[in-house]
Amino acid sequence: MKNDWNKYIYPETFLGFIDASSHQNNGAELNALTESRVTTLADLSQQAQFDGKLIDARLLQGLSHNDHVWGKICYQQLRQYFNKGQPIGHHQIYVLINPDEMSDSAAINRCAELLEHFIGTGEVSIRLLLKNTFELSHSQLLKIVRMCELSGVQRICFADDHSQFSPAGVKRFLAALNATSHANALTFECAFAGSAEHAKENAITAITSGINYIHVTASYLARADQALPVIQLMQEFSSHNFGLNKEALQQYILVYHQQGLENPLAVTSGLAPVTCEQVTQTAANSGNAKELAAAELTDKIALRFDVSANDWHVSIQLLAKGQTQDLGERVHHYVMLLLAREYYQQYQQMMARDGVVDPLLVGWVEREALHQMIGDNEAQFNVKLCRARKHIVTAAETLGVVDYQPLSTRQGAVRLNCGNVTVVQGSKVEFEMENWHFTGEEYPQLKQA
């Protein structure tokens, strides 16, 4: 695997991800599965080693004493429980508070009394979730931090609900927060909307600026009504000093994407194997095919590379919908061949190191490194890359596959976006990939084609 000099390093202050994946009931057909489904996803969340899972209160049935699960209620609900002398009903909750509910010292003192009352019973742990954090003044921030210290709240989550923060704003806000001289027992979280303009950059800035936890969703797809997908953040950071259980995380994501089907997959243990093909079908059925392509899980296309012994001649055949399109021999095919080989090499290294491979985390090559491998300058490389992409897109459209993108990109890097690849060198198979995984564990020698 190539080095990861360009990736961020998790600082010692960063302690983990909070699983804030939303599992709403999307129709009457899911009513019977809601409880078992949420239980399954909560179990998978714990196996993936998230710090905790945040669930709407109405879905907490059967999970009221699960130490991994946190419910959430609004501040007004907390006051109603207090006024009626009722217990909250769950032993771990986030209390959602708007800045206008903390408008003055009297309001903050009332909130402190409520929090201290419930925490003092010893029956519930409480974390504060401040909505629309951008609206907080500096003096409000100081008072709220102090209130939490006095009342026994151990964590505060700062949510950017309306995507008002920029990365520079996040950095300034956390600098002000770290200057409050808060007690060491108090830790902090941030939550950013998944499809916001600066969501990923804000989360990266928060982690590198000292935030302890980030709210994420266990999904490949960025949505406005959910937190940032954890995969997007993991791709930007080196995993040598922090990491989730990738096998359990992948299983969680695949089960998660079954939501929304008319006949959802019934998973009782959370351990039944789910294939990338099922996820692709799920997204297509729920109208998310284009989103899935952006998530780099395209497996509806197959590519066959025929390569000469010295790599000087490369031709490609594209297979889709039972048809084959011969793209012929072209110089620009060599770029795609290098990306396919890079995926294979990184896959083998991750398998040897971790025992499991997340297809979204391997195959990435820095653009500068790639054009140096080819021996071109940047301009020549960009021309070849553009021609290679356009050639495959046009061939796919000829076979009736529209909106296919053979390359996935992120800042400064590129990877092959095809889950079915065969590379034949001379008369021997170099490697074969099916649905993002390889049919042979390793190829110490080339096998007969």
- Which helix (H) or strand (E) covers residue 337, if one does? helix 333-354
Buried b / exposed e over 93-107, threshold 16 CB at 10 Å, is bbbbbebebbeeeee
Residue 391: pLDDT over 90: yes
d(CA 40, CA 255): 9
Q: How far apart are CA 28 and CA 220, in angstroms?
A: 25
Pairing verdict, β 302-307 and 420-425: parallel
Q: Of the given ranges (98-112, 269-283, 395-409), which has the lowest mean pLDDT?
A: 269-283
Nearest C-alpha neighbor of 242 from the set 38, 433, 10: 10
Of the listed ranges 36-40, 155-159, 341-345, 388-392, the least confidently predicted one is 36-40
Phi-psi region of 117 (alpha: psi -120 to 50; beta: other; left: phi over 0): alpha
Q: How confident is the model at residue 339 (pLDDT cuts 50, 70, 90)?
A: very high
Q: Which range is least confidently modeled, 259-268, 334-343, 413-422?
A: 259-268
- What's the confidence (pLDDT) of residue 246? 79
The answer, yes or no, to whether residue 37 has pLDDT greater than 90, is no
Q: Given this model, what pLDDT does residue 28 score? A: 38
**CATH architecture classification, 16-294:** Alpha-Beta Barrel (3.20)
Indicate if the pLDDT at residue 277 is higher than 50.
no
* Averaged pLDDT for residues 220-237: 79
CA distance 26 to 37: 12
What is the helix (H) or strand (E) element at residue 326, kind and residue range?
A: strand 323-329
Q: Is the pLDDT of residue 59 over 90?
A: no
pLDDT at 227 over 70: yes
321-326: long-range contacts at Cβ-Cβ below 8 A with a sequence spacing of 24 or more?
A: 321/399, 321/400, 321/401, 323/399, 325/395, 325/396, 325/398, 325/399
- Determine how many CB atoms are found less than 10 A away from the CB of residue 355: 9
**pLDDT at position 267, please?**
33
Residue for token digits 């800042």?
411
CA distances from 59 to 54, 303, 367, 375 (A): 10, 44, 45, 57
Residue 111 has pLDDT above 90, yes or no: yes
Q: Is the pTM of this model over 0.75?
A: no
Task: Quickly state the pLDDT bin for 258 (edges 50, 70, 90).
Answer: low
pLDDT at position 198, please? 86
Q: List phi, psi (to 5°) of 301.
A: -115, 145
- Say which residue, 225 or 369, is predicted with more confidence: 369
CA distance 320 to 304: 12
Q: List, in sequence order, every residue forming a beta bridge with 128; answer none if it has no partner.
A: 95, 156
End-to-end CA distance of the chain: 27
C-alpha separations of 203 from 8, 161, 207 in Å: 12, 13, 6
Q: Which residue has the higher pLDDT, 225 or 419?
A: 419
Q: What percent of the chain has pLDDT above 90?
A: 39
Tell me how far apart the alpha carbons of residues 309 and 313 are, in angstroms, rounded to a whole number.
8
Position 154 pLDDT exceeds 60:
yes
Query: Does 443 have pLDDT greater than 80?
Result: no
Q: Where do the structural domains in the chain lie, given as residue ranges?
A: 16-294, 302-448
Residue (of 154, 174, 172) closest to 11 by Cα position:
174
Tell me 193's DSSP state: B
Backbone angles phi, psi at 162, to 5 degrees: -105, 15
| pLDDT > 70 fraction of the chain, expressed in percent and rounded | 80
Count of C-beta atoms within a 10 Å radius of residue 250: 23
Element at 176 (helix H, strand E): helix 167-178
How open is the CA angle 277-282-283, to the nearest 5 degrees?
100
Q: Residue 217 in contact with residue 232, Cβ under 8 Å?
A: no
Query: How do the residues of the chain divide into helix, strand and coil, expressed in percent and rounded to 5?
Result: 40, 20, 40
Give the separation between CA 35 and CA 37, rounded to whole angstroms.
Answer: 5
Average pLDDT, the chain: 80
- Residues 127, 234, 348, CA angle at the centre, nearest 5°? 140
Which band of pLDDT confidence, cut at 50, 70 and 90, is reported for residue 183? low
133 and 173 in contact (C-beta within 8 Å)? yes
Three-point CA angle 393, 394, 396, nearest 5°: 65
- Residues 289-316 have pLDDT tens digits of 333 333 344 457 899 999 998 888 999 9
Range among 222-226, 259-263, 335-339, 436-440 rated most confident = 335-339
